[in-house]
Amino acid sequence: MNFLAILLCVALHTEYLVNPDGIETAHPRLQWRVESAEHGQRQTAYRILVASTDATLARDEGDLWDTGKVMSDATSQIAYAGKPLASGQQCFWKVQTWGKDGAASKWSEPAKWSMGLLKPEDWKAQWISFKDETPLPSAHGKLHLPPARYYRKDFEAPREVKRATLYFSALGIAELQLNGRKVGDAYFESGWADYAKRAYYRTHDVTALVKPGGNRLAATVADGWYAGYVGYGLLVGRGPDKTGRNIYGKTPALLAQLEIEYADGSHETVGTDATWETSGDGPIREADLLMGESYDARKADESAWKWTPAIRAEENGSVKAKFFEVGSSHEVDLGFQKPAKLVAYTAPPIRVVEEIAAKKITEPKPGAYIFNLGENIAGVIRLKVKGAAGTVVQIRYGEMLHKDGRLMTENLRKARATDFYTLRGAANGETWQPRFTYHGFQFVEVTGLAEKPALDAVTGLVLSNDTPAAGEFACSDSVMTQFWKNTVRTQRANFIELPTDCPQRDERLGWMGDAQIYVRTASYNADVSAFFTKWLDDLEEAQRESGAYPDYAPYPFAHGEPGATHGTAWTDAGVIVPYTIWKVYADTRVLERHWASMTKFMEWRRKADPELKGVSIGNTWGDWLNVNEATPIEYVDLCYHRLSAMLMSAMADALGKRDEAAKYRDTADALAKSFRSQFVKPDGSLTVDTQTAYVLALEGRFFAEPDETRAAAARLAEKIARNDTRMATGFLGTKPLLLTLTGNGQTDLALRLFQSRRFPSWGYEVEQGATSVWERWDSFTKEHGFDGMTGKNNAAMNSFSHYSFGAVMQWGFQTLAGIDTDGPGYKHIIIRPNPPSVGTTAAAGEAKPIDWVKAHYDSIHGRIASAWRANGADFELTTTIPANTTATIFIPAKDAASVTEGGKALGDVAGVKLLRYENDRTVFEVESGTYRFASKR
């Protein structure tokens, strides 16, 4: 038998995660990948076994579910349909597949998942807190930064432990410890939600941490998003007494439940209740996400703390306060409210995903040591110091330095972003890392040490929801390869609990405009399936009663115009993001889950604009950060309304909702008609004469005739040329700009913009020293520092870690490298690289047009690779198409006869079928495998 023909089943996932604990859905979706070294190999059938024990599975028995041999090529989104699953149940599974010739594969390696606590009554533990007698903080005076609270409970495990599982939730952020060891490696558990409505809980397998005999379960609880400073609340005076903190409640609370299963079959539950003890005397003296953490190592010995009984959280009683919104206030009760629902956390946890060694130390003023990590990250540091007991080390963070070498902190606004560490005086030195805060930084200023520290005194710990890397991009222009790396860094820095706008200043909100612009790029850089699946729940929770999606999710308080909660293009993220997740992962469940919510949104959108003319709704950020070329909000609104309608129609089709698909198509058509009557002049030009206006019109396919489309694309190109070949577009226009240019025959211009080093451009930013994506093209210039090109930039509104303009990497992967899909989920792949035209040379002072690209993308079906090289009229492409998929490949060529594969004329190559020749490209259909095409252009 030819071993190459055998399919391998690998990378088993449950609900997008590897061996997850605490799954809540009754029908978890299973996923694997098939691999084969043989061209054209595909899966024709599968059999899944799900068993209640690993031993049962090892005997090839699926006592929970045995699908039998299912004739299907599906490898993902397969919903478990076996025996009903109970709370806490463990499920072990594996899969076997059959290839195209009917040969069976080996069984995959086993995988597993466990169920969470599925019913409210499964929670036996009680929410606990400490007796909080402090007054509710007021806005007057200094920051209010209470110490973290410690909780503990001793218990006996009298018999041999077979399995122990810890479930917990927090109003605040909690870290649990069992016998002195931290449970799991996640940060900021259990997560941010609108706590009265819903709180996340976490599940950890702690079998290895429970020992026979005496045990101690302990927790450290900090304010987090629940009670700490959130966003720009303090800056603009939101929340109770305009403090910007205690947005959801006054006193953090904890709910923890340890389920122990003994070898003899008996069970025991250890849950939080009033028999727990609590103390506020521990070493963590301050713990705030925005402000920082203070740790007094002299207080580490808990036997010296005063411990008092914990109380049931509700015993702290009600706490009435006046909550300030934009131009109004209302009464709230910040006393404990039991979350209406506890829901399992479905995203990959926030962890340390990389450690960065400091590259350099400077001492701009005596005793202030600045460590340079060499790249802009978000996270915390590990501090390694030696000194006398009681020495206080102050640690400040910044993304940039001033000319004189001082830390630049103006752009942190009200985020204090300062940690303190008080030494206990250990003879061999001591190490520490904060646990309840994070910062956006490249530079770390350490003061208070008696002696100059060594370079390894500071290590950067990069925090991010641990979304596995999915793509890699490199090209002949090293500046643009660097830019791609900057997007990855910036994505990690901002995928912390939610897709944030920026990680450094007092903001860090789930701004929806930014998220919708960037989500597709995000999907090329990393597997963001579970991350966005979770955030879409946050988003639905934040949907306004009117049906509008708000400006950011979660939605702690409003911003912008009085009464406004939403704005064009930001609000549409509620449709664009689910569409993208479906498109990339073939995920129809996410569409079903949010369909009612999206429908409500569309009804609201329709009501807001009954005449379909485009309206100004709420906040009018529009083409935010455009370069002196604003596009009227009504125009942008009409374009986005149509985009949402078109996506709704596609999603309705995917769900088999034919009537709704037709209804949204009609809306989209009516909007196009309205657009043409309002904005298109007889000569085909637009009454709104901005680059963004043309881009959005082309992207939205508003023109009735191909000629009109071509003319509009030519006008856009002309406008850019007249603008000295520079962009004038903001967030909304820049995202589709290059996609639109290439899609309309303007690839050379797209490439020129992509590779430009002149303001405003990505290359400009890199040449000014960017290691991350900046909020503004000129957030820093060598010439004018932080004042921007005009000398007028506001240094406080100037983030150096803002992914929105990084959305161009969608074009980088999809269009330049040419890796795309035409249906959902990369089952049928499009490989359509876009090299510069033959004979294109660099314009004076500009970069040499990219002549090679090497990229890959790990799709849900496996790795898709595209590497091309253009040398004059010679073009080469090496591409890999994963098993169980097919691809249409577009090779730039002067005719079909000039294309070879692996050095052979095409007729001789198995698995490659010539389809047609069109638009200077030879088009082939291929099966899986690696192909080396060469052509003459």
Q: Is 501 in the site for ligand BGC (CB under 6 A)?
A: yes
Residue number, 235 or 361, with CB nearest to ligand BGC: 235
Q: Is 293 in the site for ligand BGC (CB under 6 A)?
A: no
Among 80, 113, 150, 621, binds ligand BGC (CB under 6 A): 621
Q: Is 514 in the site for ligand BGC (CB under 6 A)?
A: yes
Q: In the window 750-789, what residues touch ligand BGC (CB under 6 A)?
A: none
Q: Quick check: is 775 catalytic?
A: yes
DSSP letter at 816 equals I
Q: In the window 251-280, what residues touch ligand BGC (CB under 6 A)?
A: none
Q: Is 527 in the site for ligand BGC (CB under 6 A)?
A: no
Q: Quick check: is 354 catalytic?
A: no
Q: Which stretch binds ligand BGC (CB under 6 A): 7-15, 189-197, 456-464, 511-519?
A: 511-519
The CA-atom distances, in angstroms, between 613 and each of 151, 484, 609 are 59, 38, 7
Residue number, 649 or 799, with CB nearest to ligand BGC: 799
Do the beta carbons of residue 346 and residue 532 sit within 8 Å?
no
Count, residues in the chain:
937
DSSP letter at 95 equals E
Q: Is 549 in the site for ligand BGC (CB under 6 A)?
A: no
Q: Which stretch binds ligand BGC (CB under 6 A): 116-124, 510-518, 688-696, 842-850?
A: 510-518
* Nearest CA among 706, 646, 704 for reference residue 676: 704
Residue number, 200 or 731, with CB nearest to ligand BGC: 731
Half-sphere exposure in the Cβ direction for 602 (13 Å, CA)? 24
Catalytic residue among 35, 507, 634, 765: 507
DSSP 68-84: --B-----SSEE--SSP
The angle at the Cα of 618, spanning 617 to 621, to the nearest 5 degrees, equals 95
Q: In the window 876-905, what residues touch ligand BGC (CB under 6 A)?
A: none
Q: Is 421 in the site for ligand BGC (CB under 6 A)?
A: no
DSSP 473-525: EEES-HHHHHHHHHHHHHHHHHEESEE-S-SSSS----BHHHHHHHHHHHHHH
Residue number, 667 or 804, with CB nearest to ligand BGC: 804
End-to-end CA distance of the chain: 42
CB of 515 to ligand BGC, least distance (A): 9
* Nearest CA among 826, 931, 856 for reference residue 889: 931
CB of 48 to ligand BGC, least distance (A): 43
Residue number, 440 or 513, with CB nearest to ligand BGC: 513
Provide the b/e sequence for 370-400 (b: ≥16 CB within 10 Å): bbbbebbbbbbbbbbbbbeeebebbbbbbbb
Element (H, E) at 215: strand 213-222
CB of 867 to ligand BGC, least distance (A): 34
CB of 621 to ligand BGC, least distance (A): 4
Catalytic residue among 15, 293, 540, 775: 775
Q: Is 286 in the site for ligand BGC (CB under 6 A)?
A: no
Q: Is 623 in the site for ligand BGC (CB under 6 A)?
A: no
The angle at the Cα of 353, spanning 556 to 573, to the nearest 5 degrees, equals 40
What the block records as the tokens of 297 is 């190592």
Residue number, 517 or 672, with CB nearest to ligand BGC: 517
How far apart CA 495 and CA 899 sit, in angstroms, is: 43
CB of 803 to ligand BGC, least distance (A): 9
Q: Is 624 in the site for ligand BGC (CB under 6 A)?
A: yes
Q: Is 502 in the site for ligand BGC (CB under 6 A)?
A: yes
The CA-atom distances, in angstroms, between 843 and each of 746, 758, 764, 765 are 16, 12, 16, 20
CB of 501 to ligand BGC, least distance (A): 4
Residue number, 438 or 731, with CB nearest to ligand BGC: 731
| Spacing of C-alpha 654 from chain mean position | 24
Residue number, 130 or 624, with CB nearest to ligand BGC: 624
Q: Is 511 in the site for ligand BGC (CB under 6 A)?
A: yes
Q: Is 803 in the site for ligand BGC (CB under 6 A)?
A: no
Among 507, 540, 778, 901, binds ligand BGC (CB under 6 A): 507
Residues touching ligand BGC: how many (CB under 6 A)?
9
| Spacing of C-alpha 465 from chain mean position | 7
Q: Is 513 in the site for ligand BGC (CB under 6 A)?
A: yes
Residue 323 neighbours by CB distance under 10 Å = 19
* Residues assigned a catalytic role: 507, 775
Residues that bind ligand BGC (CB under 6 A): 501-502, 507, 511, 513-514, 621, 624, 804
